[in-house]
Copies of this chain bind each other. A is one copy, B any other.
Amino acid sequence: MVYLTRRMRFNAAHKLWVREWSEEQNLATFGKCANKNWHGHNYDLHVTVKGEPDPTTGFVMDAKKLRDIIQAEVIDDLDHSNLNLDVDWLPKDLQPTTENVVIHIWRRLADKVNDGKLHCVKLYETENIYAEYLGE
């Protein structure tokens, strides 16, 4: 079993805000992340699949094909988007934390990646904060 990872990037805006809460409570909880005019990040996405290398091609999965799937299913929607407003497959009431976004990227990719088996989705919000989801 070999694990193969493809890294891709997207840039997006978001804010953390609970609609049912007062501005005061939002600022107390989320600090500057609750800025009503949004802020943004260069997100760095690592998608890992697992499997045995094909005896002829040596591929667990063609990395170009994996890239194309991630591009079509995830990056095309997320890049230069507003994570709170623009992405159909991110529920409108979902808090777009790195933790929540990584789960929804997993769900988006899980049944599209059928040459290998999706093993892990890792998402860096900054160089200092990242989240990983293994589907469990």
Query: Residues of A at under 8 Å CB distance from B?
Result: 1-9, 11-14, 16, 18, 29-33, 35, 37-42, 53, 56-60, 62-64, 79-82, 85-86, 94-100, 102-103, 126-134, 136
Q: How far is the CB of A81 from chain B (nearest CB, A)?
A: 6
Residue from A32, A39, A59, A129 whose CB has the most chain B CB atoms within 10 Å: A39
CB neighbours (8 Å) of A29 from chain B are 57, 62
Task: Please name 4 further chain A to chain B contacts, defined as beta carbons within 8 Å, in addition to the given A6-B129, A39-B81, sorted by A numbering.
Answer: A5-B132, A9-B126, A16-B58, A39-B40
* Contact B64–A31 (Cβ < 8 Å): yes
Q: Whole-angstrom distance between the alpha carbons of A3 and B102 in the complex?
A: 10
* Contact B41–A97 (Cβ < 8 Å): no
Q: Whole-angstrom distance between the alpha carbons of A53 and B103 in the complex?
A: 10
Residue from A30, A31, A64, A99 whose CB has the most chain B CB atoms within 10 Å: A99
Partner of A97, one of B37, B58, B85, B86: B58
Q: Whole-angstrom distance between the alpha carbons of A8 and B32 in the complex?
A: 17
* Contact A11–B100 (Cβ < 8 Å): no
* Contact B6–A131 (Cβ < 8 Å): no
* Contact A4–B98 (Cβ < 8 Å): yes
Would A95 and B57 be within 8 Å (CB), given that A2-B103, A128-B6 are in contact? Answer: yes
